[in-house]
Structure 1
């Protein structure tokens, strides 16, 4: 195909991405709302792989999901069911979901239902398991993790769901805009957003307290015990925003970035499928008692936030990240400024106060990445080989994905 106006296509993809108005409308079991989840299936992060290719913590997360559902009584029984096809493995994004780390979804797990106000398009994200470093999405499943997941399923999710319905939904973009002005970048730091979300629900909590009682108390405790609860909402909001920009003919804008245990991959608006490459490079600050030999990859789709101008693309507004993931604030500011050279434009809503309220760099253009040699950066949690989180850091996408994407673009649209 020739005669494509790439500049116009990219402008349209950018417009769709930034015009999104994501609203949390409900919390429901995945089986009731996520397409294709009404069967024995476990969803995981990254471009799709056959079951036998999953390894390490991502494989353990899949097995843990089967055990949690009660489809198998032992790890060995679960493996046999995956081997035989008795349990299917699915890719989160094929089901309008977005996965944190291993990204494990099973039918009974509750999900946030986030809807774009104008188009009705939906995206889903499962719920934060709690502050313990041992979590299913970090490739760990034991009795402690089982109890955490059951608490989310039976107490947290139903209480939040009734409250969200009571208040008529929660528009997420206004919270995200304010959080960026309060030191969040909405990937590795969600302190302000998590607290503001809890405040939005307070009128509903008060009205429902006589009915729900101790469940409200436990829910408020879980919402405020640490500062990562909002990340799953940020991811779902980013997913629905990026999906609105996907499928624009001729657009070279990146609409997803994801890890699996095997590779890093991207999606591009005007191309089909995933473009796969090697693992990203990482600069990590590890928790005490851990070292670089323990770092492993087990999936992760939270960099969907970076595709819409958040996370690593808003680092300059989150100075406290230097204590969490290493580096200096000066380095974060400098890195953030370089990212304006690889994007379609500045976000009209998400802004960085430290840059004079300049809009965050938004809409990664694969050709600008190749021209400048500047790689997209992402703020992520770091998983360990034995399961669990062992630190945090900054990763850079591999250039190989963008080279391949450019070749595919040329083959489809011409030079």
Structure 2
């Protein structure tokens, strides 16, 4: 995509030799959905925590998280491990049409407050990981005044962009992930804390970070999943899952707000009773309830927030996450639920005891 290699084989050789540098999204304050690929020319959203620092205006800059654009509802997407001419053209469309229009609209409205938008979306049936229909429409609504101002100068671009936002229920997904990232990063390095500050996984394994242990990752085996496959697909087609999207659950959204989005049973399987029970379990492994994000079905109780490695090990309850499932030929073939493996928490607890003393846990 960037022209750094003429063929797939040349690209792989460049990675292996170190000629083409790659790194973890988390190390760059970014989050990647599933395959999680960012390259140098891709436009990104910038999400700031303006409660900290000066929001970029004088004094200390606000902490930031970054995310790229949702490519569209075509199952074959870069974030699902696909790269062909169709994917290439859609990425160019993001660069050349969508990003310039959305960027200009955001600047015209002075930025979009995400916390209040997410809170409202939870009351409208989203959990902002596997369901973002309400949040996507609320985000588009914030931009409409700017679109109306811009349409005279770029009718085709604004019309295309507004249509893209309107038809893609998952447009907001990556924004929720970036908001979660900048939130979770605020506790990294918090001395003595046993609260999880990040979760991520791949087809090779699952990993967590713990606030009081800095940026070290503690790994375990790949998570077990349960879910629902799209029509025409079978279990043996599932080849990988992964990405940084569990940062959403890290701050009490996604699987930790499943009871907000009971319609997900049609998309990823399960039943309302199971989803409610899963959500209630998460209160037993977290340190508190989020005063900003509330679950109507639970009498507007705050979402369970702050996964504590001690509570996970004491109760045996493993954190739950909503995820998409990818097929062996690339593309999304289903959706479901995973649980973080216990081994990650055991490894983190061992490291915590070594650093802070055996009685620290």
- Alignment partner, residue 56 of structure 2: none
Query: Any conservation in 2 of the 1:306–1:313 contact (CA below 8 Å)?
Result: yes
Cα shift at 1:226: 2.4
Query: Any conservation in 1 of the 2:129–2:322 contact (CA below 8 Å)?
Result: yes
Given candidates 245, 249, 254, the residue that maps to 1:302 is: 245
Q: In structure 1, how many angstroms separate the alpha carbons of the residues matched to 2:128 and 2:187?
A: 20
Q: Does 1:161 align with 2:103?
A: yes
Q: Does 1:232 align with 2:174?
A: yes
Q: In structure 1, how many angstroms separate the alpha carbons of the residues matched to 2:17 and 2:279?
A: 47
Cα shift at 1:309: 0.6
Cα shift at 1:168: 0.5
Cα shift at 1:298: 4.8
Q: Does 1:382 align with 2:315?
A: no
Higher relative contact order (CA 8 A, sep 6+): 1
Q: In structure 2, how many angstroms separate the alpha carbons of the residues matched to 1:77 and 1:262?
A: 24
| Cα-to-partner distance string for 1:274-310 (whole Å, 9 max, x where unaligned) | 1111001100100111111111225311110101110
Q: In structure 2, how many angstroms separate the alpha carbons of the residues matched to 1:317 and 1:228?
A: 16
1:339-378 paired onto structure 2 within 5 Å:
339-378=282-321
- Alignment partner, residue 51 of structure 2: 118
Q: Does 1:397 align with 2:340?
A: yes
The alignment partner of 2:212 has SS state of coil
Q: Does 1:214 align with 2:193?
A: no
Structure 1 consecutive aligned stretches of length 4 or more whose deviation exceeds 4 Å: none
Query: Any conservation in 1 of the 2:130–2:323 contact (CA below 8 Å)?
Result: yes
The alignment partner of 2:219 has SS state of strand
TM-score (norm 1): 0.83
| Cα-to-partner distance string for 1:71-123 (whole Å, 9 max, x where unaligned) | 11211221222222210111101111111001000000011100101220001
The alignment partner of 1:250 has SS state of coil
- Alignment partner, residue 96 of structure 1: 29
Q: In structure 1, how many angstroms separate the alpha carbons of the residues matched to 2:296 and 2:16?
A: 52
- Alignment partner, residue 311 of structure 1: 254
CA RMSD of aligned residues (A): 0.8
- Alignment partner, residue 286 of structure 1: 229
Query: Any conservation in 2 of the 1:259–1:297 contact (CA below 8 Å)?
Result: no
- Alignment partner, residue 271 of structure 1: 213
- Alignment partner, residue 34 of structure 1: none
Cα shift at 1:218: 0.5
Q: In structure 1, how many angstroms separate the alpha carbons of the residues matched to 2:50 and 2:88?
A: 35
How many residues are aligned here? 348
Q: For structure 1, which runs of at least 5 residues remain unmatched after alignment?
A: 1-67
| Cα-to-partner distance string for 1:175-219 (whole Å, 9 max, x where unaligned) | 000000000001000000000100000000001111121100010
Q: For structure 2, which runs of at least 5 residues remain unmatched after alignment?
A: 53-61
Cα shift at 1:260: 2.1
1:248-267 paired onto structure 2 within 5 Å:
248-267=190-209
The alignment partner of 1:266 has SS state of strand
Q: In structure 2, how many angstroms separate the alpha carbons of the residues matched to 1:298 and 1:279?
A: 9
